[in-house]
Each structure stands twice: as structure tokens, then as C-alpha cells.
Structure 1
Amino acid sequence: MSFLTVQNLTATYGVSQALFGVDLTMAEGEVTALMGRNGMGKSTTVKAICQMIRSEGTLTLDGLNLHDLPSHKVARKGVGLVPEGRRCFADLTVRENLVAAARPGDWNMAKVAELFPRLGEREGQRAVSLSGGEQQMLAIGRALMTNPRLLILDEATEGLAPIIRQEIWAALRRLKQETSVAILLIDKSLKELAAVSDKAVILERGKTVWAGAMADLTPEISERFVGV
């Protein structure tokens, strides 16, 4: 049985249908790139997995039906989300942001600071005073403090300086190598996705149109479904 199973997933925003049949499976410790052009349903799929919108179809985590749970209980079952736009608690310090999300497990302040030394150096600063890249590191650290089994990152490197992007990609490679956390990635950098992901799932118009090993994602497939 797959750790995460998404099958024939459909979802709507009011009367507008956004997903028309998303299929996606993940094993524990696996890194999957969720790909597609803008507006094809990637973030909506993430919201459906996290039960932030109503959806239908098969949606299970380690055999548990996520449709039966509200979003906060999905998080407690081991789904950690790094949302698009970071959404740190601006008036709280770095430490307070991290502690607010903490759940029992291996991840703690010291371990997050080891992964992102900048956060350890700035633990007493308010989140609003951090750079955009540091806020993104804080958002990732906050998700890790929930001790997730599935970590979802929605455009975690978008709009960041190249040096910060590389720090975040290096951290993701460490997570893959040193933990059993499954990681679902949405990002525009095909080169970086290819370097860290085991497989890819491509969406077009709210439906899975290709899925397979990242090594099997040819330039022709990428150009057809992902290229501008």
C-alpha cells in the first residue's frame, strides 16, 4: 500500500470545478515533484490533501481516509505544509514561530537551527524583520517542528535570491538523505527538481496527464506539459 494515495481526485471552488481527476501515489521517504504550468491545479491539489477545500475521490494517508478529517487533524496525522507565500507569524520571534508549531518527535529548535543556521542566529528576532529568504527558511522549519511524515512545499524557492535558493535546495537534499519524510514539491526549477526528486506527476487542466520516474521525464514531455 502506498503511503499517500490520491486517486481520481476532484475538487471545486463554489460552482467552479478545479480538479477533474488527479492521481498521485507516494511511498515513505520518497520525493515527488508535482508539476504543470500555472493554473493547472497544483496548489488546489495541495489544498485538497490538507483538507483546506472540499474534494471527492480517494485520498488516504497510510490507509487513513483524509476526507474524514478537518484540516487541523490532517496536520496532526503527519502532514506538514510550507504554503505559498510563507505566512509566518509576523509579530512573533523566530523561536516563538517554531515553538508554536511544535509537536513531539525528533525535530526541535536545535535540529532546525542545524539545518538552517540563520534561524539559530536570529531566534530572538521578530519574523517581520527577516529577509524573504529567511522567512522561507522559517516556514520550512515551522513545518518540520510539527514532525511531519509528509512534507509539502508549495513554491518554496519562488522569488528568492539564488544563494538562498541553493541553501533551501541543499536542505531538501539533506532531508531526503537523512530522514524518512516523504516530500511533495511544487517548484518552477526543473533542474533543481530533477536533482532531488524520485518521480514526477504532471497536471494539466486539473488532471494527471503524466506520472513516472524523474529519470523518464524527457525534454519532449517536459516541453509539452511544463514549458512556457
Structure 2
Amino acid sequence: MSFLTLDNIAAFYGPSQALFGVSLTLEEGEVCALMGRNGMGKSSTIKVICRLLKHSGGRVAFDGQDIAALPPHKAARAGLGLVPEGRRCFPNLTVYENLIAAARPGHWDFAAVARLFPRLQERKDQSAASLSGGEQQMLAIGRALMTNPRLLLLDEATEGLAPVVRQEIWAAVHRLKSETGMAILVVDKSLAELRRVADKAVILERGTSVWSGAMSEVTAAVADQYLGV
């Protein structure tokens, strides 16, 4: 049985259907790229996994447990760590306060996060609102890690950042993969970077899984068909 399983998921926002049949599997220690053009259901899929959006059809299982009935806070306690699109740091709290807000016991404490992102140590007592966009993204990742998740979900973690900062974020993702063996589901538009870190890929189109396979099999033809403008 897979570590994470989504089987033919359907989901709605009110009367509007967003997902029509999303399926994917992820094993422990794997990195999966969830790909697709804008508006194809990637963030909605992430929300379903984290129980921020209820699904109306299909099955979601994490570590062998059907999690359909779990509220979001219990999904987080089960080991799902979300880095949401848009970062969503608490602006009036300090860096340290943001990091400990939802911290749980385990390897990932402030010292471990500071080793991954030294800038957060330097900015420890600053408010999140005073940070640059890249520093806020590091903070959002660090905050998720301090819940000591078993599965990390990164939703557009490099969106809108300067190239040098994007490289820092990708370097951190590489370290997480190589040093922790953590399962990671990552949504991003950088095909070149995803090729370097992801083991497999699932591509969505109009809220449906239309392609899945090894990341090495995402050829130029596949990218042009499903990811091109």
C-alpha cells in the first residue's frame, strides 16, 4: 500500500467543480512533482490532501488510513506539513514566534531549521512583515518542518522570487531529499529544477490526472502537450 494515495478524487467549491478525477500515489522517501498549467487543479489537490477542501468522490489515504473524516489540524498531526501558496506567515509575529507556533517534538527544531536557512537565525527577532519575500518563503518552509511532518507539501514555493533566492530554496529541497528521506509533493513551474529533484511526476489538466510516470519520462513532447502555453 502506498504512503499517500489519491484515487479518482472529485471536489467542488460551492457549485463549481474543481477536480474531476485526480489520482496519484507517493511512497515514503519519494519526491513527486505535481504539474500542469495554471488553473488545472494543483492547489485544489494539495488542499484536498491537507483537508482544507473536502472531496465529494474518490478516496484519500495517508499511511494506510482513509483521512476523509479528518479536520485539517488532525491531518497536520498525522504528519502532513503544508507550505501554502503565498507563504501566509503571521506578519505581526517574530520569525521565532512563527516557527514555534505549531511546532511539535522531533528532529526539526529551531536549531535544525536555522542550519537549513541561516538567514532565519539572523532574523530571529524580526517581525515576519519586515522580511523579504524570499525570507518569508524560508520561514514558511521552516514553520512546516517544525511540525515534524512525514510528508511535506510545497505549493509554488519559488513563485515570484529572485533567481538567487529560488536557488537557495531548491538547494534546501535537495538537502531534505538527500539527508532526511522525507516524502515530498511539490508544485512548481520550473521543469529544469523539478528534473533534478523529483522521482516521479503527475500532470493535471482541467482537474483530471492525464499523465503520470517517472520524472525522466517527462519528455519535451510531454511538456509541450501538457505544460506549454
TM-score after normalising by structure 1? 0.99
Tell me which amino acid in the other structure corresponds to 2:211.
W
Classify the secondary structure of the residue corresponding to 1:210. Answer: strand
Q: Match of 2:47?
A: 47
Give the superposition deviation at 1:54.
1.5
Classify the secondary structure of the residue corresponding to 1:124. Answer: coil
Q: Are the aligned partners of 1:112 and 1:141 in contact in 2 as well (CA < 8 Å)?
A: yes
Tell me which amino acid in the other structure corresponds to 1:17.
Q
Matches for 1:31-110 after TM superposition, within 5 Å: 31-55=31-55, 56-110=57-111
Classify the secondary structure of the residue corresponding to 1:123. Answer: coil
1:24 aligns with 2:24: yes
2 CA distance for matches of 1:36 and 1:20?
15
Q: Are the aligned partners of 1:84 and 1:156 in contact in 2 as well (CA < 8 Å)?
A: yes
TM-score after normalising by structure 2? 0.99
**Structure 2, unpaired ranges of 5+:** none
1 CA distance for matches of 2:128 and 2:204?
34
2 CA distance for matches of 1:58 and 1:211?
18
Q: Number of aligned pairs? A: 228
**Structure 1, unpaired ranges of 5+:** none
Deviations 1:33-71 (A, max 9, x none): 000000100000001111111102110000111102011
Tell me which amino acid in the other structure corresponds to 1:165.
R
Classify the secondary structure of the residue corresponding to 2:32. Answer: strand
Give the superposition deviation at 1:16.
1.0
Matches for 1:148-167 after TM superposition, within 5 Å: 148-167=149-168
Deviations 1:80-127 (A, max 9, x none): 000000000000000000011200111000000000000011101110
2 CA distance for matches of 1:97 and 1:175?
21
Q: Are the aligned partners of 1:149 and 1:180 in contact in 2 as well (CA < 8 Å)?
A: no
Deviations 1:152-210 (A, max 9, x none): 01100000011100000000000000012110000111000111000000000000000
Give the superposition deviation at 1:25.
0.2
Classify the secondary structure of the residue corresponding to 1:118. Answer: helix
2 CA distance for matches of 1:137 and 1:78?
20
1 CA distance for matches of 2:40 and 2:101?
33
2 CA distance for matches of 1:143 and 1:54?
21
Q: Are the aligned partners of 1:200 and 1:214 in contact in 2 as well (CA < 8 Å)?
A: yes
2 CA distance for matches of 1:121 and 1:101?
21
2 CA distance for matches of 1:85 and 1:104?
26
Q: Are the aligned partners of 1:95 and 1:124 in contact in 2 as well (CA < 8 Å)?
A: yes
Classify the secondary structure of the residue corresponding to 2:211. Answer: strand
1 CA distance for matches of 2:53 and 2:133?
27
Identity, in percent, stands at: 68
1:147 aligns with 2:148: yes
Tell me which amino acid in the other structure corresponds to 1:191.
A
Moved more, 29-38 or 49-58: 49-58
State the superposition RMSD in angstroms: 0.6
Classify the secondary structure of the residue corresponding to 1:119. Answer: helix
2 CA distance for matches of 1:20 and 1:155?
22
Q: Match of 1:199?
A: 200
2 CA distance for matches of 1:5 and 1:180?
18
